[in-house]
Amino acid sequence: MTTTPLPAPLRGVVPPLVTPLTPDREVDTDSLRDLVDHLLRGGVDALFVLGSSGEAALLPDRQRDTVVATVVDHAAGRVPVLAGAIDMSTARVVDHVRRAADLGADAVVVTAPFYTRTHPAEIDGHFRAVAAASPVPVFAYDIPVSVGTKLPAELVLRLAEDGVLTGVKDSSGDDAGLRGLVLGSRHLPAFSVLTGSELTVDAALSSGAHGVVPGLGNVDPDGYVRLAQAAADGKPDEARAEQERLYRLFGLVQAGRPDRMGRGSSALGAFKAALQLRGVLAHRTTALPYLPLDADEVAVVRRYLEEAGLL
């Protein structure tokens, strides 16, 4: 196990790795290693395991552990590894945080409490208690679609100033709020603002965000790395063109028909099908209760890849 000093701020492309599964729904560690290689070849800056794209909410603890251990081992210090510690409440999150840190994760990513509905003062206390118990830096994960709460900007910024948070992954889809985080943390040069809005990355980076956590980056890491590079080089037109190409490719997440499955089944099924078609994953199995794409739906994914020149 090799730990990697986390850049401060963390910048660039940090794909949220899908979790490859075997047909009997065990972690497919061979495919997971292949996925790490695929992403590192693409030039990504860090790896984020056990996020929403990693089906963290669907994996039992032992599978979560396997994911962290496998990726930490295979990355071998080449890039930092962040691990989601997705659970409902403080003590449960702390358990995940400690296990992930023990297994070598360089940072953890933590949401607001969910299932219970909480007051901002309780969310504040939650992050403080988690950070106090964490051996590694803590990123806040703002994902209201899953947890039912939008992290207030002033709460995130106060926790940043107090050294509780080392960064934020903003998957709220609220680009104006993201701008507020960027402006509000400009005096904290080590604090990292990462966007999870993978369709407006050029805008986020040009407004001062440090990086992006794109689910689609599993499928096309090269594209997101080119996008981030163009933005860093002050070439907004190139960045925009790349974003537009990726925007069109992102249509594959709708491959699963909405009358028969949820959008999570569809998106994760499509990401995994695309990675299987590209030769990275051995299987496209998703975890329960997600439903699998059928052959017609996989054909839709294939068409998107062909149009994007990725096959």
- Exposure string of 36-54, with b = 16+ CB inside 10 Å and e = fewer, is bebbbebbbbbbbbbbbbb
3-class state of residue 217 by DSSP: helix
CA distance 34 to 32: 5
Residues 137 to 156 in contact with a second copy, rule: CB under 8 A = 145-148
Known catalytic residue at 141:
yes
Known catalytic residue at 115:
no
Among residues 8, 190, 241, 291, which is the contact residue for a second copy, using CB under 8 A?
291
* 8 Å CB contact between 192 and 11: yes
Q: Work out whether 57 is an interface residue with a second copy (CB under 8 A).
A: yes
Query: What length does the chain have?
Result: 311
CB atoms within 10 A of CB 288: 8
Q: Work out whether 88 is an interface residue with a second copy (CB under 8 A).
A: yes
Among residues 29, 173, 278, 283, which is the contact residue for a second copy, using CB under 8 A?
173
Q: Work out whether 236 is an interface residue with a second copy (CB under 8 A).
A: yes
On the 0-12 / 13-18 / 19+ scale of CB atoms within 10 A, 173 is middle
Q: Work out whether 261 is an interface residue with a second copy (CB under 8 A).
A: yes
- 281 is written with which tokens? 């994953």
What are the angstrom distances between the C-alpha of 66 and each of 24, 38, 100, 143, 146?
16, 19, 10, 24, 24
213 is in an annotated binding site: yes
Q: How far is the CB of 186 from a second copy (least distance, A)?
A: 9
Q: How far is the CB of 135 from a second copy (least distance, A)?
A: 17
Q: Which positions are catalytic?
A: 141, 169
Q: Site residues (CB under 8 A) for a second copy?
A: 25, 52, 57-61, 63, 86, 88-92, 94-95, 113-119, 121-123, 125-126, 129, 145-148, 173-176, 179-180, 183, 197, 199-200, 202-204, 206-207, 236, 240, 243-244, 247-248, 259-265, 287-291
Detail the residues annotated as belonging to a binding site for pyruvate. Answer: 213
